[in-house]
Amino acid sequence: MKIIPYGKQYIDKNDILSVSRALKSDKITSGLEVQKFEKKISNYLGCKYSVTCSNGTSALFMAMKAANVSNGDIVIMPSITFVASYNVATILGARVYLADVDPESGQMTPQNIKNCCKKFNLKNIKAIIVMYHSGYPQNAENFKKLKKIFKSTIIEDACHALGAKYQVKDKKFKIGSCKHADISTFSLHPLKTITTGEGGIITTNSKSIYDKLILLRSHGIQRNTKKHWEYDVFYNSLNFRLTDIQCALGISQLSKIDKFVYKRKKISKIYDEHLSLIDQIKIFKCKKNYLSSYHLYVIKVKKANIKEKLIKYMLKNKIFLQYHYIPIYEFKVFKNKKIFKNSKYFYQSAISLPIYYELSFKKQMYVIKKIKDFFKFI
């Protein structure tokens, strides 16, 4: 039996045909497929503007740069997140302050942000990076309220959350609609909801931010529309463009996104039914009337010392589990080694199980059986 991964892309014949057609077109970069994909993303999410880019990290870079994050500015982000957010902010010269997270979801809440600001006496915050761990949405309206208090740009790191929805009163919004955020960023890595191989998306409802993102995507260059051979450089940036080949794949993948999310939800429910019966495991469920993208399925073991044992045991049985994530303060690059209580608990207890579109019922039941077998002897 092959190893069961924790995540995997799904590519069908339509995806291959879309890429093949793009390869035969006159332009394979900066062409019509890019424009089509961006328009379809905007329509799907309900935002005004979408900008494609090379990956989720470049999306974060462009978003922070568009928010004018620069030397000495204060940026707040969760201590449980992928290191890309921290690297981008520090490369731009920002002073990064980590906020602790909710111990159950692993997400930074508005209260965590307030606690961070109170603790370090922070007032003027340039940007707050909200991360939707595992694809579980929060009420983004609560973060928008912080914008007024701290005069901040709210940037959603929604790399896990394409396809997720949250509710404000009687209305539902998709993460990335930017109804309660200034900018949202997504990843199109093969393990995400949809993929372009590598890729990213930035969304906004601000015309000024959109105009800046367009320039940032291509070296900060603006060309002379009357003399195409002339151009000027307005911002220090790099080449973050996504090709038409990748965008053609993205268009085909986006047409299947509801099917992808539904299958992930189905897999999650099966895990819930079986694993909730194991005393040594805690599971986290999405809020009522909210829809997760179910990017990850995370369990928490109640005894921290058995996490590594479980991962090794499952690997022996050809099942690959994963950590999401090592806290930022654990890395050598982070200077303030203060440990956050909730983040430490989440890191020591949380494990990501296999979840992807092609995960069969038979394979999932094998994963569940092996987890049950492991806990019989603990």
* Per-residue pLDDT, 140: 92
| Degrees, nearest 5: CA angle 9-25-237 | 70
The answer to whether position 343 is within a domain reads yes
- Short-list 176, 131, 87, 134, CA closest to 271: 134
* Per-residue pLDDT, 320: 98
Average pLDDT over residues 264-268: 98
Average pLDDT over residues 101-109: 96
Q: Are residues 269 and 302 in the same domain?
A: yes
Confidence class for position 289, pLDDT limits 50, 70, 90: confident
Q: How many domains does the chain have?
A: 2
Average pLDDT over residues 219-228: 91
Contacts of residue 119, defined as CB under 8 A and 6 or more positions apart, other chains included, come to none
Give the residue, 338 or 247, on which the prediction is more confident. Answer: 247
% of the chain surpassing 90 pLDDT: 90
Using the 3D structure, point to which of 222, 254, 286 is the last residue of a domain.
254
**In terms of residue numbers, what domain contains 300?**
257-376
* Per-residue pLDDT, 288: 85
**Does position 120 have pLDDT exceeding 90, yes or no?**
yes
CA distances from 112 to 140, 145, 286, 329 (A): 14, 14, 19, 16
**Does position 125 have pLDDT exceeding 90, yes or no?**
yes
Q: Are residues 210 and 199 in the same domain?
A: yes
* Per-residue pLDDT, 36: 98
Q: Are residues 215 and 249 in the same domain?
A: yes
* Per-residue pLDDT, 360: 98
Give the residue, 225 or 58, on which the prediction is more confident. Answer: 58
Q: Are residues 159 and 109 in the same domain?
A: yes
Confidence class for position 378, pLDDT limits 50, 70, 90: confident
202 in helix, strand or coil? strand
CATH number, residue 56? 3.40.640.10
- Short-list 263, 262, 269, CA closest to 285: 269
**Does position 223 have pLDDT exceeding 80, yes or no?**
yes
18 in helix, strand or coil? helix
**Does position 335 have pLDDT exceeding 80, yes or no?**
no
**Does position 191 have pLDDT exceeding 90, yes or no?**
yes
Give the residue, 266 or 170, on which the prediction is more confident. Answer: 266
CATH number, residue 272? 3.90.1150.10
Confidence class for position 1, pLDDT limits 50, 70, 90: confident
Residue 63, classified by CB atoms within 10 Å of its CB into exposed (0-12), middle (13-18) or buried (19+), is buried
* Per-residue pLDDT, 318: 98
Whole-angstrom Cα Rg for the chain = 21
**Does position 274 have pLDDT exceeding 90, yes or no?**
yes
**Does position 334 have pLDDT exceeding 90, yes or no?**
no
Q: Are residues 331 and 230 in the same domain?
A: no
Q: Are residues 58 and 202 in the same domain?
A: yes
Average pLDDT over residues 14-36: 97
**Does position 286 have pLDDT exceeding 90, yes or no?**
no
DSSP letters spanning 26-80: S-SBSSHHHHHHHHHHHHHHT-SEEEEES-HHHHHHHHHHHTT--TT-EEEEESS
**Does position 336 have pLDDT exceeding 80, yes or no?**
no
Confidence class for position 353, pLDDT limits 50, 70, 90: very high
297-301 vs 281-283, strand pairing mode: antiparallel
Q: Are residues 275 and 240 in the same domain?
A: no
pTM of the model: 0.96
| pLDDT mean across residues, the chain | 96
Q: Are residues 271 and 286 in the same domain?
A: yes
> From CA 300, how far away is CA 334, in angstroms rounded?
26
pLDDT tens, residue by residue, 163-172:
999 999 889 9
Using the 3D structure, point to which of 196, 224, 254 is the last residue of a domain.
254
Average pLDDT over residues 245-268: 98
* Per-residue pLDDT, 339: 83
Using the 3D structure, point to which of 190, 225, 254 is the last residue of a domain.
254
* Per-residue pLDDT, 290: 93
Q: Are residues 144 and 49 in the same domain?
A: yes
Q: Are residues 222 and 272 in the same domain?
A: no
**Does position 29 have pLDDT exceeding 90, yes or no?**
yes
